[in-house]
Structures are given as C-alpha cells and as structure tokens.
Structure 1
C-alpha cells in the first residue's frame, strides 16, 4: 500500500505545472484588440500651413483690420500692442467702427502657433468670421 501511495504522489508531482495556453490566448486577444483600436483612432489636431513671404504678393487692402504676431509672440492690433486676452475686445471695438472690414493676421515665420490659433479664436468670438492669415517679414 505504501508503495502504491508513493507512486501516486510521484505521479501527482509530475502532473502539476503551469499551463501557459490560457495566458497566450489572453495576450493574443489583447494584441488583436490594440491593433483594431489603433486602426480606428482619429488624430486630433489643427494643420496650419503658413505661406512663405517670398511667395506672397504685396496686396494689402486698406479696408482690413491687421493683427501682427511677431517671433516673440507679441500681438499688435491696428498698430497698438495688445495682450492676448484683450484681442477680442479690440476686435469688437474695431468691428463696430468698420463692420465691412475683414481681419488679416500677419505672422512671422517663428511666431508661436498656439498664439496664432488663440488670436483667430478671439477674432471669431469678436464677431468677425472673415479671417485671413498672411506671412510677415522673415527675420532671416
């Protein structure tokens, strides 16, 4: 009887082990899930391509409100240095005086894109939907 129990216990020891098949199935399912979700993900962003100053023509209309953003991020609205938060108020004031005028945002090549997007948002919140982007003088 002891001999039989010893054989049974040795057989049980050999049979115990970690079965990796369920873990592999789980890992493969995760891999498939991530591949499928990566295919359906949409990238969110704004693509802004600013034209070069050399390719632009000198065509400035006198009936437009000009906003200049320089390389340092300074904002000049109608020849007055303005803070980023007060662009909307300045545009509302100028648009009330000249309602037919469009807004031209002149940016230098090194101007921060975040400030450009913020200024365009402020202009549109100020009531002007006709906003153009023009290249400024390059500092090179």
Structure 2
C-alpha cells in the first residue's frame, strides 16, 4: 500500500535577513561618513566671492560670529589672548596659515582689528574664508 506523499515544494530564497544586513551596512556607512567630515570652525554665514578656492593645508581657524565674539579653533578667546595662542601654534608649524571665518554680518572694524593683530605676528600667513558664488 502506497501512502499519499506530499509534493516536493520548490526551494525558496528568504531575502528578508539579507535586506536587514544591507540596511545595517548602509547605516554604518552613513554614520561613519558623517564623522569623517572635518568641521574646524563654528557655523557662520560666510560672504560669497567668485575667486574662492579651497586650501590644501590644515590651517588654524579663527571664527568671528555676528556679535563679534572670537573663537580660536572652536574655543572662545579674547582678542588680547589671541597673540600667545598664535605664537604657540607657530612653534608647532612654522608655515602657519590662519583662516579668518568672519560672518558677513560682523562689523568691518572688528574684522580689521583681528587681521591687524594677526599681521603683527611675524611669519603667519593670513587667509579669509568665503563661499563660492553660485
């Protein structure tokens, strides 16, 4: 006597675990890429210029926010204390480039005051950060 046998069902590929793995890898890639971007300065609205070009060196950033407060490499600092910090950085890097990130709403006199102090330090190169016009 022959018993009733079940038909062989076709093999199926369950892709749900594979989708979970792919989304996990994608999430790790996104999170890692966020941490790889380097932001040296505080967020300010930079003025726009046609001649803006990216710099290849790792400069020291000096940020001036809209109210005129100064930050040296993201650390708040007073104008009087800025020169010793610049000299200290210059000892580590003789070809020091200081990039001034001044908000476009900052009083022009404040920017000139900071630039004047930076120009008095011998051997320091000065750059002003801008955005490329679109």
Q: TM-score, normalised to structure 2's length?
A: 0.54
Q: RCO (CA 8 Å, sep 6+): is it higher in 1 or 2?
A: 2
Asked if the contact 2:63–2:70 (Cα under 8 Å) also holds between the matched residues in 1, the reply is yes
The residue number in structure 2 matching 1:79 is 74
- Which protein has the bigger helix share? 1
Asked if the contact 1:75–1:83 (Cα under 8 Å) also holds between the matched residues in 2, the reply is yes
CA apart distance, 1:87: 1.3
Residues 43-102 of structure 1, C-alpha deviation per residue, up to 9 Å, x if partnerless? Answer: xxxxxxxx8337575724442111111101011112211101111111111111111121
Q: RMSD between aligned alpha carbons?
A: 2.4
Count of aligned residue pairs for this structure pair = 86
2:66 is paired with a residue whose SS is: coil
Q: Give the number of the structure whose alpha-carbon radius of gyration is greater.
A: 1
> In structure 1, what is the Cα distance between the partners aligned to 2:127 and 2:52?
14
Q: TM-score, normalised to structure 1's length?
A: 0.52
CA apart distance, 1:123: 1.1
Partner of residue 89 from structure 1, selected from 76, 84, 87: 84
CA apart distance, 1:127: 2.2
Asked if the contact 1:89–1:126 (Cα under 8 Å) also holds between the matched residues in 2, the reply is no
> In structure 2, what is the Cα distance between the partners aligned to 1:128 and 1:76?
21
Matched, 1:117 2:112: yes
Asked if the contact 1:103–1:128 (Cα under 8 Å) also holds between the matched residues in 2, the reply is no
Asked if the contact 2:96–2:124 (Cα under 8 Å) also holds between the matched residues in 1, the reply is no
> In structure 2, what is the Cα distance between the partners aligned to 1:67 and 1:94?
12
1:121/1:56 CA distance change after superposition, 3 Å? same
